[in-house]
Amino acid sequence: MKTSPLKSLENLIESLVFNSRWLQLPFYAGLIAACGVCSYRFIVEVVRLWAESGDITEEKLLLGVLGLVDMTMVVNLLIIVIIGGYATFVSRLDLEKEKDRPEWLSHMSAGSLKVKLATSLVSVSAVHLLRSFMDVKAHVTTTGNIWQQPIFWQVLIHALFLTSALVLAYTDKVMLSSPSNRD
């Protein structure tokens, strides 16, 4: 049986649309490279903290450690985006035989990925906010106008991240508990 030209064109377009997911590959490769840059900066910062450990104040040491925690959480966020995004939107990861396979990969969906990302953003924001509170003098202007205070905007943005994460988590929970998704 011969396929009509219109059906052949439709099949070609559908194949093109489906395979366009591979255009995301350079983005994931770029994020992997960004993890490498973060790893390098992390090592440089650890060496700097170690070298200054005898002369550094406790406050500066704590700020340095919080900076390391911040970088670690950003890289964790990148890894979630890389692995989760690739596995959700590009291609399945054949990791059944991997002993070190992250547990969260076995029950990952687009919704749970969004919740993990939002939660990670809240965590990164919280650490950044804690660093700002530790060094509040550097984040408060002398104008006295609260709208011009960078720390005010950091708190507001953190609250928005937190609210978004809660809404996403609630939405994911509702979607998972709906009768159509229990099958």
Tens-digit pLDDT string for the chain (183 aa): 677 889 999 999 999 999 999 999 999 999 999 999 999 999 999 999 999 988 988 888 888 898 899 899 889 889 988 988 888 888 888 877 888 877 767 666 777 777 778 888 888 888 888 887 777 666 666 666 666 677 788 888 888 988 888 888 888 788 777 776 554
Q: Tell me which of 32, 65, 96 is where a domain ends.
A: 96
Same domain, 81 and 120: no
What is the end-to-end Cα distance of the chain in Å, rounded? 38
Same domain, 66 and 125: no
* 64, 42 Cβ separation under 8 angstroms: no
pLDDT given for residue 182 in this prediction: 52
Same domain, 146 and 177: yes
pLDDT given for residue 36 in this prediction: 97
pLDDT given for residue 13 in this prediction: 96
Same domain, 27 and 65: yes
Same domain, 27 and 74: yes
Q: Please state, in angstroms and rounded to a whole number, the distance separating the CA atoms of residues 121 and 109.
A: 18
Amino acid (1-letter code) at residue 30: G
Question: Which residue range(s) make up the domain with 178?
Answer: 109-183
Tally of domains within the chain: 2
Residue 47: inside a domain, yes or no?
A: yes
Residue 89: inside a domain, yes or no?
A: yes
Same domain, 118 and 81: no
Residue 158: inside a domain, yes or no?
A: yes
